[in-house]
Structure 1
Amino acid sequence: MTLPENPDSGPGREEPKPTPETPAFAGLAEDYAAKAGLHRTHDGRIDVLKSAGGYQGIAESILPGLVFLVAFTATTALTPSLIAALGTAAVFTVVRLVQRRPLTQALAGVVGVGISAWLANTTGKAEDFYLPGFLTNAAYIVAMVISIAVRWPIAGLLFGFIRNEGLDWRKDPVRVRAYRLGTWIIVGVLVLRLLVQVPLYLMGPDGLAALATTRLIMGAPLYILGVWIAWLITRPAATPDGQPSKPSSSS
């Protein structure tokens, strides 16, 4: 699960300015960081709740799965439960239309729930409703591990621009190590999900209730906690005047 896209500008947020020597990949990274939906508060801290799409964004990520669980537990009928989950996701899209807010997150939710519902309906196994989430989770793990290996850790690409470090942090081995550690923390959250949930999935119908419950608990709430810890871990060291230190130009 990744942070939901939210293009609203947070207080104090400044758009990073590319430099002439910035390589093409760095330009793509800058664009991704600017559109990733991360926000900061007026005092320069990350606004984790807003970055997660606010309460509405969290509800959009949690409620379809919760509705599916409640409906299937009450009826043991797969098709009506899948329809209920799809309907819930569709309602959020309508709400965003009424609010005239960007539809990206809501539409992504509808597509995701639709794929999950199609798969579960095709196999006839209720637990397969959660299978696409495992595959997405694994893909993010691979991408983040690769980013660490090539010294472009995702945490640095995102947090660096929020902190107005741009890509200067890559010139400082200490900052690179900090952002690699921050990325590992997020990877750890994603790995923990799989370690807990995949065995429940393999239990079939007997593990469905526990699987659905852990998906809710280990979804947005745990991810937000992981991002917040990664933010704290990667804070630049303060200078004597109390201001964050600037990355050194050493390589």
Structure 2
Amino acid sequence: MTHASDEHSPNTSAHAEFSDVPSSAQPVEPVEFEGFVEYVEPVESAEPEEPASRSSRLGATLGTDFDAWKALGGTRGLIESNVPALIFVVTYIATRDMKISVIAPLIFSVFAVVVRLIQRIDPVPALGGVGMVAVSAGFAYFSGRSEAYFLPGILTNSAYAIIVGMSLIAKYPALGFVMGMLRGDLSHWRTSSHPVALATRATYQKITWIWFAMFALRAIIQIPLYRGGYTASLSVIKIVCGPVLFCAVLWATWLLVRRLPPVKDYLRVQP
């Protein structure tokens, strides 16, 4: 004869089976199905993807640690931005044929885009590189001067130096708005009278001076080399000295930004 006390319902056996499940810091939620109760611990969410602003080169200055290699764009970034100029100079020195010399770096730049597409990597940076190489190649080809390949870069640095310098004179530090946007405050750092905002404003002023010095130095060094027709020297400045100087400026920017309190400290109190 079977006694009722000997019979176990499915739910009872399930509770007995899971009675020794260790407790955890997170709540355990019961899930019922087909007469059983299974205890399932919540799955921790994956780490959020890094914001696009922080994955940029300037965004590297916002981290707790400074990654020089990441700031320079990594191996791929350095190759895509510097190898075309090297190819142009080497090809021109070897052949003295301007047509071949401007086509070679263009082929490499297009190849870099194709590789990104095959590997399903964002092709936008490489497409920008193709545009810059095409402009540089056009300057060299239509002028017939090899040093003109570097003229777009010289003009760009000169323009940046003028714009950033004017922003300093007007007391609207250009890099302040860039860093403010990356840190989540586009303009309150300039208008707020909160002590933290005032300190932030002074820091942004210093950062803007540093970037102005970089742009001005590039232009001051390259303009005489361009006027003298020193193509090889211009390539060395771009390929070797350029990344080193840029990395140093990013590092100095990081040193200044990391000391700043969070923007929320003054955004909570508006003047």
TM-score (norm 2): 0.68
The match for 1:213 is 236
The match for 1:174 is 199
Q: Does the CA-based 8 Å contact 1:148-1:183 persist in structure 2?
A: yes
Q: Residues 110 and 97 (structure 1 numbering): CA distance in 2 closer, same or farther, change over 3 Å? A: same
Superposition pairs for residues 130-169 of structure 1, below 5 Å?
130-163=150-183, 167-169=187-189
Q: Distance in 1 between matches of 2:152 and 2:63?
A: 38
Q: Does the CA-based 8 Å contact 1:38-1:47 persist in structure 2?
A: no
Letter in 1 for 2:217: L
Segments of structure 2 that go 5 or more residues without pairing to the other structure are 1-46
The match for 2:26 is none
Q: Distance in 1 between matches of 2:151 and 2:178?
A: 28
Higher-RCO chain (CA-CA 8 Å, sequence separation at least 6): 1
* Alpha-carbon distance, 1:34 to partner: 7.2
Q: Distance in 2 between matches of 1:185 and 1:47?
A: 19
Q: Residues 12 and 109 (structure 1 numbering): CA distance in 2 closer, same or farther, change over 3 Å? A: closer
TM-score (norm 1): 0.73
Q: Residues 108 and 41 (structure 1 numbering): CA distance in 2 closer, same or farther, change over 3 Å? A: closer
* Alpha-carbon distance, 1:233 to partner: 2.9
Residue 122, structure 1, aligned to residue 165, structure 2? no
Superposition pairs for residues 1-20 of structure 1, below 5 Å?
13=50
Q: Residues 41 and 78 (structure 1 numbering): CA distance in 2 closer, same or farther, change over 3 Å? A: closer
Q: Residues 74 and 61 (structure 1 numbering): CA distance in 2 closer, same or farther, change over 3 Å? A: same
Q: Distance in 2 between matches of 1:48 and 1:11?
A: 23
Segments of structure 1 that go 5 or more residues without pairing to the other structure are 1-9, 16-32
RMSD: 3.2
The match for 1:225 is 248
The match for 2:74 is 54
Q: Distance in 1 between matches of 2:159 and 2:165?
A: 10
Residue 94, structure 1, aligned to residue 114, structure 2? yes
Q: Which residue of 149, 169, 187 maps to 2:212?
A: 187
Q: Distance in 1 between matches of 2:227 and 2:152?
A: 14
Aligned length: 219
**CA radius of gyration, larger in:** 2
Residue 199, structure 1, aligned to residue 220, structure 2? no
The match for 1:110 is 130
Letter in 1 for 2:87: V
The match for 1:73 is 93
* Alpha-carbon distance, 1:103 to partner: 1.8
1:164-192 CA-partner distances (Å, limit 9, x unpaired): 56654333222212111111111111111
Letter in 1 for 2:202: R
Letter in 1 for 2:121: R
* Alpha-carbon distance, 1:130 to partner: 0.8
After the TM superposition, which segments of 4 or more aligned residues of structure 1 sit over 6 Å from their partners?
none
Letter in 1 for 2:150: Y
- 3-state DSSP class of the match of 1:218? helix
Q: Distance in 2 between matches of 1:196 and 1:42?
A: 30
Q: Distance in 1 between matches of 2:198 and 2:221?
A: 34
